[in-house]
Structure formats: structure tokens, C-alpha cells
Structure 1
Amino acid sequence: MNRLCCAVLISMLILVGSAAAANYIYERSVIQGVGYRSHELIAQTAQGYSGQKIVERISGSGSFYDRTEFELSVQRNSINYSKEATFEYFPVSYQTGTYDRKWVDRLCVANYDAGAVVTESYTHAESLMKHTQISTVGNSHLNEVNNSGIEASFNANVIGVGHIGWRSVEWIEGAKRPFEVGRSVEDVVGVFSIEKYIQLFKNESGTTGAVDWLPCL
């Protein structure tokens, strides 16, 4: 009986150790086809209003090609994201029904250590070709330099509605609200191309303080 209890306890410790070690995520995918697609990605390096956050949602009908690489490390407090995608809208019908929805592609990345947030959004898209790369990192003892921030690159050709924005805020001790360092919002409708490169970094020697909320623009 004692041996059985010991074996069960050891098994529980192994399972708990495995669960605690699941703090690194890597996913690489290539998805292409014709039909209806709905996709959601939600990930974070820390709970609550801290660490790095990413939220991505895609849906629509027609033809699509999507090549994505996603990496998250809790210990390094970092997220790396890259997507190359093409979406063409048209309705499709199957025995299960007719799917008729223009493409929606929304992405939001927040860095609470740096007080920075970046948003990329396309809606009512009849055609969308895009290449997006985002890296966000926060303070960690594993990083050689604890300069937290977001680096983002957007390149897109769209027929539809587009929205790209970023915001940088800093919390100053004693202040009633965060100080907005900068903000940029780009809204376009029609046939257009967008190319943007963004760096939002906070030097380690600067004013410190936690930003308690970072809404997507």
C-alpha cells in the first residue's frame, strides 16, 4: 500500500513539473484552401495587466493562403509573430449551407512593461495581401539588455477597410493617470497599400511604473 501511495505521489509530482514547464510555445503553420475560415489566437506571458499580450482573429469566405510563425516564451517575457497571407473574397456553398462573409483580420499586441500597444485591422476586405512581423519583449533576467518594447513591420495591399494604430504611455509615480508619450492612428477605405515600420521601446534607465490598462486602438 505504501509503495502504491509513493508511486501515485511521484506520478503527481511529474505531472505538476511538466505543467509548470509548459511556458514556451512555438507554432508554424501553412493553411490554404477555398471555403470559409475562422481563426483565433490568444496568448500572454503573464496574467492580468502585465507582460506581453497578443490577440488575433480572422474570418471570411473565399480563397486563402496563410503562412504563420508564432513563438512565446514566458521566461524571456517575449513574443515573436510573423504572417504572410492572401485572402480573396467570394461566397461559397456546401451541403451544410452558404457562407458569404468578407474577410476580417484583426491583430492587437500589447507590452505592459513598455506601456506600448500596436493594432492592425482589416475589415470588409474583398482582397487582402499582407506581410506582418512583430516582436515584443519585456524585462527578464534572461535578456542581455532589459529594454522592453515592440518592433512591428506592416506591408499590405487591400480592397476594403484598414486600420493601423499604435500608442505609447508611461506611468509617472504620483500622477493621477498615465502620461501619453505618443499615438498614431491610420484609417483608410477603398483600394490602398500600406507600409509601416514601428519601434516603441522603453530604456531601462527611464521612469519606471506599471501601466494598469492598455486598450487596443
Structure 2
Amino acid sequence: MNRLCCVALVLVLILAGSGTAANYVFERSVIQGVGYRSHELVGQTAQGYSGQKIVERISGSGNFYDRTEFELSVNHNTINYTQEANFEYFPVSYQTGTYDKKWQDRLCVANYDAGAVVTEQYTHAESLMKNTEIKTAGDSYLNEVNNSGIEASFNANVIGVGHIGWLSKDPNPDSKGRHFEVGRSVEDVTGVFSIEKYIKLSKNESTTSTIDWLPCL
């Protein structure tokens, strides 16, 4: 009987561990080659319009090198993202068809706990070399200091169209359900250019909502 109890306890522990395994995600990838590429990354630490969110979409044809690290913790309410990438556009043809699409890389990270969102987008890119690092964290009983916010660093050289923006709003709505806008910045460029930008948006209060009041810029 004791042996059966021990076996049952081990099974319970294994099942409990497997049930919480998806609360933490880590991915490291190196993708390089010549051809057509389409990629999508989506992550969130909480349901609805709360917690941390990240959405990235990449597509294009030509030569590409992309080294990315992505870490998401539901319990710590954090997302860490770093990317080193180099894209060069030209059409490619195979027996399956011809692929002719200039590169686009769209990234949006939202922190509903801090009322902060950061957007980095490049489209119609003939050449794109970039280094991006983003850290976003919300309040959690596991964190040593509950100071929610986004910290982002962008460094890019581009031939194409670029868009970088950030938005900061008070997470707590007023009596009419509106969120006070603390500040925003939007940078749009077209042509041959380089961008180097560091952004830090933080707040130590949190709230939840059923309405998406923090859109990507």
C-alpha cells in the first residue's frame, strides 16, 4: 500500500510539473539562407488586455541572417527579446515559383501594467541590418521590485521605410473610462538612413481592463 501511495504521489508531481511547464518559454534560433522567409512570433503573459504582449512578423525574399533569443515567464510577468538580423532583398526563383518581396520586419511590445507600448517597423526594405533588445516586466509577487515598464534599444541601418514609436498612458482610467496620455513619440523615415534609439518607460502601479486602450502606434 505504501508503495502504491508513493507511485501515485510521483505521478501527481509529474503531472503538476507538466501542467505548469508552458508558463515559461525560451527560444534561441539562428536562421540564415537565400530564398523566401515568412515568420511570426506571438507571446503574452496574461489573457485579455493585461500583462505583457509581443507580436513580430517578418517576411521577404533574398539573403537573410537572423539570430533571435526570446524568453517569456508568466509567473514573473516578463518578456525578454533580442534580435541581430541582416536582410538583403532580391527576387529568387525555384521550381515551385518566383518569390519577389521586399523585406518587412514589424515588432510591437505592449506592457498593460505600465501603460506603455513600443513599436519598431521596417517595410519595403532593400537592405536592413538591425540590433534590437527589449525587456518588459509587470508586477509579480516573484519579482524583487514591482516596477513595471519597458526598456528598449534599437540600432539599425536601412534602405527602405522605417517607423519607430512609443506611447505612455496612465493605466488607471478616469471617471469616463479614458486613459490620460503621458507622452508619445513617432519617428517615420524613408530612404537610406540609420537609427539609434534607447527608450525606457516605467510605472509602479498596475490595473486590468476589458478594452484595448493601448494600441500599437
Please indicate, yes or no, whether the TM-score normalized by the shorter chain is above 0.5.
yes
- Following TM superposition, by how much is the alpha carbon of 1:15 offset from its aligned partner in structure 2, in angstroms? 4.2
Please name the residue that 1:4 is paired with: none
SS state at 1:162 partner: strand
Letter in 2 for 1:199: K
Q: Which secondary structure state, in structure 2, belongs to the residue aligned with residue 22 of structure 1?
A: helix
Q: Give the SS at the match of 1:71.
A: strand
Describe the SS at the equivalent of 2:18.
Answer: helix
Question: Who is 2:126 aligned against?
Answer: 126
Give the 5 Å matches for 1:136-215. 136-170=136-170, 171-204=172-205, 209-210=207-208, 212-213=211-212, 214-215=214-215
Counterparts of 2:15 and 2:144, CA distance in 1: 32
Alpha-carbon deviation of 1:22?
A: 1.9
Kindly tell me: are residues 83 and 179 of structure 1, through their superposed partners in 2, closer, same or farther at Cα, counting changes over 3 Å? same
Task: State percent identity of aligned pairs.
Answer: 77
Q: 1:24 & 1:121 partners in 2: Cα distance?
A: 27
Distance 1:209 1:137 in 2: 14
Structure-1 separation of matches of 2:12 and 2:97: 47
**Separation (CA, whole Å) in 1 of partners of 2:78 and 2:118:** 15
TM-score normalised by the chain length of structure 2: 0.90
Equivalent position SS for 1:216: coil
Conserved in 2, the CA contact under 8 Å of 1:173 and 1:209?
no
Check if 1:76 corresponds to 2:86: no
Give the SS at the match of 1:93.
strand
Q: Which residue of 1 aligns with 2:3?
A: none
Unpaired stretches in structure 2, ≥5 consecutive residues: 1-6
Query: Which residue of structure 1 lines up, in the alignment, with residue 55 of structure 2?
Result: 55
Structure-1 separation of matches of 2:174 and 2:216 = 24
How many correspondences in the alignment?
208
Say which SS state the counterpart of residue 155 (structure 2) adopts: strand
Structure 1: 5+ residue stretches without partners: 1-6
Is residue 2:97 matched to residue 1:97?
yes
Aligned to 2:26: 26
Residues 93 and 12 of structure 1: CA distance in aligned 2, closer, same or farther (over 3 Å):
farther
Contact 1:79 1:137 in 2 (8 A): yes
Using structure 1 for the length normalisation, give the TM-score. Answer: 0.90
Residue type of the alignment partner of 2:105: D
